[in-house]
Amino acid sequence: MVKLQINGKTVEAREGEMLLAVIQRMGIDVPTQCHHEAIEPTGNCRLCMVEITKKNWDGWKKSVTSCLYPVEEGLIVETHNDKLFEIRKTILDLQLARSPHSDYVTKMAAEYGLEKSSYPAEPQGDDCIMCYACTRICDVLGKSAIAPTMRGHEKIIAGPFGEAPPDCIGCLSCAHICPTDHIKWNDKGNTRKIWDKKFKLIKCKKCGKKTITREFADYLIEKRELPSEYFDTCDVCKRKETAEKMGELVIKAREATI
Amino acid sequence: MKIDSITKLDKWRKEILTKQKTIKTKVLICLGPGCLAGGSDLILKEFQTLLKKKKIKDISVESVKKTGCHGFCARGPLVIIEPLGIFYSKVKKMHVKDIIEKTLQKGEIIEKLLYKDPNTEKIYKEWRKIPFYARQQKIALRNVGQIDPDEITDYIANGGYAALAKILKSMKPDDVIEQVSKSGLRGRGGAGFSTGRKWATCAKAEENPHYVLCNGDEGDPGAFMDRCIMEGDPHTVLEGMIICAYAVGSQEGYIYVREEYPLAVVNLQKAIDDARKYGLLGDNILGTDLCFDLKISKGGGAFVCGESSALMRSVAGEIGEPRAKYVRSVLKGLHDKPTVLNNVETFANIPVIIEKGADWFSAIGTKKSTGTKAFSLAGKIKNTGLIEVPMGIKLKEIIYDIGGGINDNREFKAVQTGGPSGGCLPADKLDLEVDFDTLADNGSMMGSGGMVVMDDRTCMVDVSRYFLNFLVEESCGKCVPCREGLFQLHKLNEKICEGKGTEDDLKLMENLSETIISGSLCGLGQSGPNPFLSTIMYFRDEYEAHVNKQECPGGVCKNLITYRINDDCNGCMACLSVCAAGAIKGKKKEQHIIDEVKCDRCGACFAVCNINAIDII
């Protein structure tokens, strides 16, 4: 265990833990955008910045992203002050210029007293805040179908060469994790469309309900070594089937004892 | 032939030297980037063809040598005749016959090819005496321009791989690290971190394997020092890296070179192949237990890949984006293993430090910045070129004594050091001593060694705009302050250049800069606002002129200037013929006139007029 000080309070933390986890456990509200428990931190949004110092640093302070900074013995952390407020506010101000129509961004910016960006709205702005949550969750799933492409202000999240990603299995993880709902998808009839790629949805053999894409099912079957007919029925029907089987077993067992 | 022992290396060196002694006169032809652009490869061919036909005593085709950059790019193509050091500049193919017949055959000097100092009108016969060279001291560049980079024998004849032999014979890895630490050598890539300390940390790291990387991703506009070392003396980089591998216990290394340096890639590959062939790379180097091999990793040319963590990801085949370095890359670098990453110039210094000793090296330069530093002089300066000077030399000495002063003897305005993330220093800072700390204390930085000189016709607001534009394009786009912040900073800067900026915009820019510096993830963003901050620090009056009076004192910003023809015009019609907008009217031998509405302020007329008959208002 490591002992450190956060906003004047001494706390204990596990070695290797990141500052942000400790801060959140204490119930302190530090804003984040790109942080998500399911994925590795990358420090894109910079909102979780805190100021750190140590007793022997002679009053010298350093701003670090708490999501990436591992806890250290004797560390003195400050999560809110004028400088940090200014950094967070400017970041949101900049995002407001790029994504003026995003509810997510406008709400966060409003908390810092920003109604309109100090900067001119960007003509090519969209709702993507470049938090990489989508690409990171895709990496976690082992597909890495999409990635940040291009550079600087032109950077976008896309498949290889800007085309429909060949490795995408239409699992929708990216769309669900996206904090600004920027990743669009739709299911029409038996077809799912995402990233300009079309997928066929599996129809439950029993009830006819559409479940997941064929590609996603095949991937899971292969990866988790599931039986090949595993996804032929939907979850509900599968549960029903199990319940029926169990019921039959119970009846049989009862009959046997009588 | 494998050189599998140190004795064999010494013997080989002696053989090479004996053979080279038979060639009495050497004709060195510079094939550095500048001279090559001037056609020095044709000059080399001409020498070879003509000498094949002719029989001259002591001179043969072997006397002619191609070399890397000799330094004095402004006077290229250069032909140097050793051992007398005769310096022929601005040589053309047609001069070759004369050089052979007069200088090589009869020992006559061709005066028109000699260098004449434009400031003193003095003519110099020998290159070492020319002021451009006289103030220099070459350590990292010691062989560049002196040897044929393709010939390992040339490097060996000049003492190459002797330092490697020395450590293998008589030094333990710790001794090597101690020497490098004691020498005070600081990383030449820009940040100036102690090389010895970096090596010591890596050597002590428990995880294995250890990697040695060389950063040849020189990306600053106007910088070409590393390029010239890699092209002109590739073996010194190799030797430096092998010594490092021995010190930190590494068996695998990479040289990261940008693909825009094709010749550097070719020359380094040739050097690696040769070193392998002779047993200087690979298993059991020089018959000892040391095993180390090297590969070239080619970069796609992203500026940000010069940043250590982005470079390491790029070498590993991932996207070249930086990561937070709260755990330093020397402990968690390439493939998350301990890694030493040094710049090309840093490695080039190593063999000399080992050979001559730490004390010799630390006696050069200043107390905290020892040794020398290579710079590429560019911009509005007479003697553009590649130089190496002791640390602590004054900016003034570099610009006026070595650089020969400003083009057309115009007034000096600023010098930019440290590339796009560095800063611009004004005339009253010319007395500053050039070292890591002094430059940083004055709002600029050493950087990798680019030095761009600007004259009074430069607009500092425009300079800031130019470099911010560069950084906006080169930002990787991962974190918000750098991606969005630099973008908006550049937009605001552009607004000021157009004469539409306000005092409030300046304040907004200053506040925004603070967040970009403290909020960005890597060095690119953290130093990104420097072009703006250093220019507004020293040239606030120019910003205010743009904002308050809609004037551009440097006469550059198109929206704020107009060209007018004055009474000196002799009606030569030169400006009229170059005006693409058709805005100039006039008859031959009569004063011309510019239609301000039609004029698109391209400046072509101003550039073509050689009697100063066009004013910028």
CATH homologous superfamily for B25-82+86-125?
A: Glutaredoxin (3.40.30.10)
Contact A119 B488 (CB under 8 A): yes
**Residue B53, pLDDT score:** 85
Contact with chain B for residue A118, Cβ under 8 A: yes
Chain B residue at shortest CA distance from A120: B488
Mean pLDDT of B286-306: 94
For CA atoms B398, B403, B405, B410, give the dihedral sign. Answer: negative
A129 vs B contacts (CB less than 8 Å) = 480
**Nearest-by-Cβ selection for B326 from A69, A97, A118:** A69
Which residues make up the CATH 3.30.70.20 domain(s) of chain B? Answer: 562-616
**Chain A residues whose beta carbon lies within 8 Å of the beta carbon of residue B474:** 151-152
Average pLDDT of the segment spanning B321-338:
92
B101 class by beta-carbon count within 10 Å (0-12 exposed, 13-18 middle, 19+ buried): middle
Mean predicted confidence (pLDDT) in B387-413:
95
Provide the shortest C-alpha distance from residue A62 to chain B (in Å): 9
Instruction: Measure B264 CA to nearest chain A CA, in Å.
Output: 26
pLDDT tens over chain A, length 258 residues: 999 999 999 999 999 999 999 999 999 999 999 999 999 999 999 999 999 999 999 999 999 999 999 999 999 999 999 999 999 999 999 999 999 999 999 999 999 999 999 999 887 789 999 999 999 999 999 999 999 999 998 999 999 998 999 999 999 999 999 999 999 999 999 999 999 999 999 999 999 999 999 999 999 999 999 999 999 999 999 999 999 999 999 999 998 887
Query: Can you spell out the DSSP letters for B581-606?
Result: T--EE--TTS--EE-TTT-----HHH
Angle at B392 between CA B387 and CA B396, to 5 degrees: 65
pLDDT at residue B57 tops 90: no
Provide the CATH topology of domain B372-455.
Ubiquitin-like (UB roll) (3.10.20)
CB contact under 8 A, A46 and B480: yes
Nearest to B137 by CA among B379, B361, B358, B445: B361
Contact assignment for A155 to B476 by CB distance below 8 Å = yes
Mind telling me how many Å the CA of A189 is from chain B's nearest CA? Answer: 38
CATH class entry, domain B562-616: alpha beta
Size of interface A-B (CB pairs under 8 A): 106
As given in the structure block, the two tokens for residue A30 are 């530090």
Are the beta carbons of A86 and B515 separated by less than 8 Å?
Answer: yes
Query: Whole-angstrom Cα distance, residue B114 to residue B126?
Result: 9
Q: Could A151 and B474 be called an inter-chain contact, meaning their C-beta atoms sit closer than 8 Å?
A: yes
At residue A137, the pLDDT reads 97
Q: Is 90 exceeded by the pLDDT of residue B517?
A: yes
Q: What is the rounded average pLDDT for all residues in chain B?
A: 94
Contact B508 A118 (CB under 8 A): yes
Q: Right CATH number for B460-548 from 1.10.3720.10, 1.20.1440.230, 3.40.50.300, 3.40.190.10?
A: 1.20.1440.230
Residue A69 confidence (pLDDT): 96
Average pLDDT over residues B587-610: 92
Q: Which residues of B touch A139 (CB under 8 A)?
A: none
User: Is the Cβ–Cβ distance between B255 and B216 less than 8 Å?
Assistant: yes
DSSP B325-388: -SS-TTTS-GGGS-EEEEEHHHHHHHHHHHHH-HHHHHTSB-SSSBSEEEEEEEESBSS-EEEE
B349-369 confidence digits (pLDDT tens): 999 999 999 999 999 999 999
How far off is chain A from B338, nearest CA to CA, in Å? Answer: 18
Contact across the interface for B480 and A94, Cβ inside 8 Å: yes
Sheet bearing B211-216, strands edge to edge: B293-299, B252-258, B211-216, B339-343
**Min Cα separation B275/chain A (Å):** 38
Task: Give the residue on B whose Cα is nearest the Cα of A83.
Answer: B515
Contact A43 B479 (CB under 8 A): yes
Supply the angle between the helices B460-474 and B530-538 in degrees, to the nearest 10. 170
Whether residues B477 and A150 touch (CB distance < 8 A) is answered with: yes
CATH 3.40.30.10 boundaries in chain B: 25-82+86-125
Q: What is the C-alpha to C-alpha distance for residues B454 and B463, in angstroms, rounded to an integer? A: 9
Substitution target from A151, A155, A157 for chain B, most B beta carbons within 10 A = A151
Any CB–CB contact under 8 A between A97 and chain B? Answer: yes
d(CA B91, CA B43) in angstroms, rounded, equals: 8
Average pLDDT over residues B311-334: 92
Q: Quick check: A15 contacting B, CB < 8 Å? A: no
The β-bridge partners of B254 are B213, B295
Q: Give the per-residue SS3 of B386-426.
A: EEEEECCCEHHHHHHHHCCCEHHHCCEEEEEECHHHCEEEE
CATH of B152-357 given 3.30.70.580, 1.10.10.10, 3.40.50.11540, 3.40.50.300: 3.40.50.11540
A98 and B518 within 8 Å at the Cβ level: the answer is no
What confidence tier does B301 reach under pLDDT thresholds 50, 70, 90? confident
CB atoms near residue B320 (< 10 Å): 23
Residues of chain B with CATH 3.10.20.600: 372-455
Contact A148 B521 (CB under 8 A): no
User: What domains are there in chain A, each with its CATH number?
Assistant: 2-80 (3.10.20.740), 133-239 (no CATH)
Structure tokens at B12: 């080989």
Residues of A in contact with B511 (CB under 8 A): 86, 90
- Locate CATH 1.20.1440.230 in chain B: 460-548
Over the stretch B170-212, which tens digit does the pLDDT of each residue have?
A: 999 999 999 999 999 999 988 899 999 999 999 999 999 999 9
Q: Exposure string (b/e) for B453-478, b if CB count within 10 Å is 16 or more?
A: bbbebbbbbbbbbbbbbbbbebbbbb
Q: Which residues in chain B are classed under CATH 3.40.50.11540?
A: 152-357
Check whether B45 has a pLDDT greater than 90.
Answer: yes
Query: How far, in whole angstroms, is CA B221 from its chain's centroid?
Result: 9
Residues B515, A91: C-beta atoms closer than 8 Å: yes
Task: Report, as an integer, the average pLDDT of B466-490.
Answer: 96
Amino acid B448: pLDDT:
86
Contact A130 B481 (CB under 8 A): no
